[in-house]
Structure 1
Amino acid sequence: MTAEVQDGPRRPPVVVVVTLLTAVLTVLLIAFAWPAARSAPRDLPVAVAGPEQAVSQVGAELQKAMPGGFEITAVADRASAVQLIENRDVYGAIVLDPAQPEVLTASAGGPAVAQILVQLASKLSPDHPAKVTDVVPLPAEDPRGTGLAAGALPLVIGGILAAVMLTRFIRSGAKRMVGAVGFAVAGGLALGAVLQFWLGSFEGNYFANSGVIALSIAATSLTLLGLEWLFGMAGLGAGAAVMMLLGNPLSGLTSAPEMLPSGWGAFGQLLPPGAAGTALRSVSFFDGAGSGSAFVVLSAWFALGLFLCGLGAMRSQRVVHGRHEATPATV
C-alpha cells in the first residue's frame, strides 16, 4: 500500500483564480473610470452680477444649457463676485456689464470648472464675446494643475505603504504609531518640496502645504494601523481598498467634487484624499479660505486612527495578561 504524497496546502482551481482576478480588474476599472466618464457639472456654485432681471435670464439660460448644472448666487457687482470667488464660496462668476460682459474664473480652484465657464461665456453672448479674467490662476510653471491632480495617488499610496511596512517590520505597536507620524512628517516635507519647488504646482507657505500632506498621510496610515491591530490583515486590506478604490477617484482633484456623479463627490470629501485635496487648494491658493470642513475631516480621521490604535493596544495588553495568568507558577 502506497501513501499519497501531499504537496502542501490545497490550491484553488484555475477557474476560481481567473474569476477572482477578473472581478478585481473590473472593480478597479469601475472605481477609476466611472467618476471620470460621468464627470459633469452638478449644482456648481456660480455667481452672477447684474440687474435682477438680467440675472434671472442668465440663470434660465444656464439651466437650459446644462439642467441642474449650476447653483446661481446673485450679487450686486463685480467686486462682490470676486469676494465670493476668493472665499471659495463659488467657482466663478458672470458679470453682466452691457458694455463688456466678463467671466471670472479661478483655475486654481478647479481647471475643469474654469474651462466650462469659458465655454459657456461664448454661448451666452455670441454677438459680444465676454472678457475672461482668471481671478485666482494656477502657477505659471503648472498652468493646468497636473501636479496637484497627480499628487492624489501618492498621498493614498504613502499612507497605505506606511501601514504595510510598519506592520511588517516593527513589532511594537507604540513604535509603529511613532513611525507612522514620523513618516507622515518626512513625507509631507518631501512631497511638498517636490510639488512646490520643483514642479511649481503650489504657491503660498511651504510648511503649511507640507503640513496638509503630512496630516493626510498620518490620518490614513494610523487608521490602517489601527484596523490591522484589531482585525489583522483583513482589516488592513479593507481599509486600504476604501482609501484606494473610493478615496482616490472620488477626491475631485482632477475636476471638482460637484462634477462627480451625484452624491459621490460629497462622499469623497469625507475621505482623507478628498479632504486633503480641498485643503491643499485652499491653503496654497486661497489663503486657507474654504478649508475648515476639510481640516475637520482630516482631524477626525487622525483621531479615529489614534482611537483604533488605542483599542488595539488595550486588546494586546489583555491578551498578554491572560497568557500570564494561564501560565502555571514554577516552584
Structure 2
Amino acid sequence: MTVALPLLISLGVMAYAWPAARTAPRDLPVGIVGTSTASQGAVESLAHSKPDGFDFHLYPDEVSARSAIRKRDVYGAFVVTPGSVTVLEASAASPTVAQLLGRAGRQLAAHSSQSAADRVASPTHGRSAHSEGGKAGAKEPAQIRVRTEDVVQTSADDPRGVVFSSALLPLTICSIMIALFVAMALRLRPVSRAMVLIVMSGAAALGVYVVAQGFLGALPHGHLATWASLALTILAISATTAGVVALVGPAGLGLSAALMVFVGNPFSGSTSAPELLPKAVDEIGQWLPPGAGASLVRDAAYFDGNDTAGHIAVLTLWGVLGLAAVLFGHRKSSVAKRPGDKESATVGTEGPANDVATPLVPPAPEELSPSSAPARSEMPAPAHARHAAGTCSSP
C-alpha cells in the first residue's frame, strides 16, 4: 500500500496535467474564404507557422463559412483580402480556440504587411519607382487591418465558458454516487434498479440545469435539448458504473471511478477542445461518456443540436450496456449482503430465504437400516403426543 497509493496519486496528477501541458492545435478544422492569391498565402503562412496544426476547408464566400461554423464543421474561418484579415470565430465552441484563431489572424496580418513591404523594397520595384519619378513615385504599403467577429458567442453571464468547463467533474462524481446509491439499495430487484437509474438521471439533470442556467446563466439556448443531453450523460456514467459493480462486485466501483474521473474527464477536452489534445487522447476522450457528454451539451446549448449524432450514439451505447449489465449481471453480494442473508449451507433457519434454495431429498425407506434408526427415548412421551399417536394408529 505504501507504494501503490503514491503511484496512483502520481498517475492521477499526470492524467490531468499532461494533456493540459501539451495543448496545441492538431488538425484543427478551420475555413479559408476564397481562392485568391491572398487566401493561398494565408494557407501557406498558417501551415508554415504550425505544421499539421490546421485542417483547412475552402469556402467560396463568407456566408458559407459562417454556416459551416454554426453547423460545427469548422471552429472558425479566415477572410483574407489584400487590405484586411477578418477572423470569424465561435467562442461558444471553445474560448481557447477563439483566442488561438485571433492570434493567428494577427500573425497573418503581420505576414501580409511584411510581404508587401518586401515587394516595395525589391530592386524591380525600385527601378519602376525611379522611372516614375524616384522617391516621389514610391508608396508605402498600406497597413493590413484585422477584424474579429464572434459568430456564435458564449453566454454573457459566462463569457469565458468557466461554468460549462468546471461543471463536468462534479457531474461525473455525482453520477458515480447515483450508481453507488443504487448498488447499496439491497432490496431492489434488477428491473427496479434500472428504473431508479433512469429516473434519478433525469432528476439530477434537471437540478444541474437549474443551477447552470437558472442561477448562473451558462446554458441559454435549447432548454429541453440541453436537459436531455445532461440526463443522457448522467445515465451513461451511472448505468455503466452500476453495471460494472453488478458484474464484478465492489471492485467495479473503483474501476469505473478511475475510468470516468481520471481518464474521461482530462481527456474530454471540455476546458479547451478535443483537437487541442495530444494525438489519440482526443479520440479516447470522445469515446468515453464525459467527453461525449460535454460535446453533446455544448452542441445542444449553442449550436441548435448540430453535429450531435455521434455523441448521442456513444452515450446511448454506454447507457444500454450498463443497464443490460444491471438487469442480467446482478450479483446479490455486489456491495453488501442483505440483512438476514445466510450461507447457502444453512438450512431451516429463520430469516429471508436465499435466492437459490437447495431442496432437501429424504432418503428412501429401504435405505434406512435398523442400526441407523434413532434409538427410542426412555422418557415417556408427552400427553398430547400419546393422544396424537393413538388417534393416528390403526385399531
- CA 253–304 in structure 1, closer or farther in 2 if over 3 Å, else same: same
The alignment partner of 1:102 has SS state of: strand
1:157 aligns with 2:157: no
Alignment counterpart, residue 224 of structure 2, candidates 191, 207, 218 = 207
Question: Aligned residue for 2:393?
Answer: none
CA distance in 2 between partners of 1:239 and 1:149 (Å): 21
Quick one: which of 272, 295, 306 aligns to 2:323? 306
Q: Which amino acid aligns with 1:137?
A: Q
SS at match of 2:74: coil
Q: 2:135 is matched with which residue?
A: none
C-alpha distance in 2, partners of 1:294/1:96? 34
Deviations 1:148-193 (A, max 9, x none): 1011112211211111122123432333222221211111001011
The equivalent residue for 1:6 is none
Query: Is it true that 1:168 corresponds to 2:184 in the alignment?
Result: yes
**CA pair 330-57 structure 1, distance change in 2 beyond 3 A:** farther
* Structure 1: tracts of 5 or more residues without a match: 1-16
Instruction: Give the greater-gyration-radius structure (CA).
Output: 2
The corresponding residue for 2:359 is 327
- SS for the counterpart of 1:96 is strand
Partner of 1:227: 244
In the TM superposition, residue 71 of structure 1 has moved relative to its aligned partner by 0.3
Question: Which is richer in helix?
Answer: 1
Distance 1:330 1:106 in 2: 79
The runs of at least 4 consecutive aligned structure 1 residues that moved more than 6 Å come to: 319-322
- 1:138-287 alignment, distance < 5 Å: 138-172=154-188, 173-287=190-304
Q: Unaligned stretches of 5+ in structure 2?
A: 111-142, 333-343, 345-352, 364-395
CA contact (8 A) 2:84 2:144 kept: yes
Q: Which amino acid aligns with 1:259?
A: L
Q: Does 2:146 correspond to 1:130?
A: yes
* Cα separation, 2, equivalents of 1:290 and 1:282: 7
- Asked if the contact 1:121–1:129 (Cα under 8 Å) also holds between the matched residues in 2, the reply is no
Q: 2:105 aligns with which of 121, 140, 149?
A: 121
Scaled by the length of structure 2, what TM-score is found?
A: 0.75
Tell me how far 1:130 sits from its aligned partner. Answer: 1.3
| Percent of paired sites with the same residue | 37
Amino acid at match of 1:81: A
TM-score w.r.t. the length of structure 1 is 0.89
* Structure 2: distance between partners of 1:108 and 1:138: 4
Looking at structure 1, the residues matched to 173 and 285 of structure 2 have their Cα atoms a distance apart, in angstroms, of 17
Q: Which AA in structure 2 matches 1:130?
A: V
SS at match of 1:107: coil
Residue by residue over 1:183-219, the C-alpha shift from the partner in whole angstroms, topping out at 9 and shown as x without a partner, is 1111100101111121111121322211111111111
Three-state SS of the structure 2 residue aligned to 1:48 is strand
Q: Which amino acid aligns with 2:256?
A: G
Is 1:48–1:74's contact at 8 Å kept on the other side of the alignment? yes
Q: Which moved more, 1:120-129 or 1:283-292?
A: 120-129
CA distance 1:308–1:94, change in 2 (3 Å): same
